[in-house]
Amino acid sequence: MSKNPLNDLGESLGEYLREQRTSAKLSLRQLSELAGVSNPYLSQIERGLKRPSAEILQQLAKGLEVSAESLYVRAGILDAEPQAATPDTPDVRRAVRQDALLTDRQKKTLLDIYESYVEDVPRH
């Protein structure tokens, strides 16, 4: 059985990217231009044939106007829950993502700002 080792990861990331791109009403070519990624390479990522670097994911996130964190989680670069939450610890990321009053762009902006504040804070 010759299974592509990237399939499980690649397909879920690729499917997610395709869903985000189609919901943003962008063609493959339009997203490749917005993100500065070649059209063939983007197609290979969506089909699960290539595993993009964190830098490429960052570019795709900007083009799609989604949080880079969501792409990093899908790609397995970040854990879905980076820090252990206790019952009395607020989960800011989850609260922002689940807030129905915010648009996707507002959520991304708030998460980016939050990350800029906490990235240098030591985690215990």
Q: Quick: pLDDT tens for 46-97.
A: 998 998 998 999 999 999 988 888 888 888 887 766 455 555 666 888 888 8
- What residues does each domain of the chain span? 7-75, 82-124
User: Is the Cβ–Cβ distance between 46 and 3 less than 8 Å?
Assistant: no
Considering the segment(s) 7-75 as one domain, its CATH architecture is Orthogonal Bundle (1.10)
* pTM as predicted: 0.58
Per-residue pLDDT tens over the stretch 19-41: 999 988 999 999 999 999 999 99
Do 93 and 69 touch, CB atoms closer than 8 A? yes
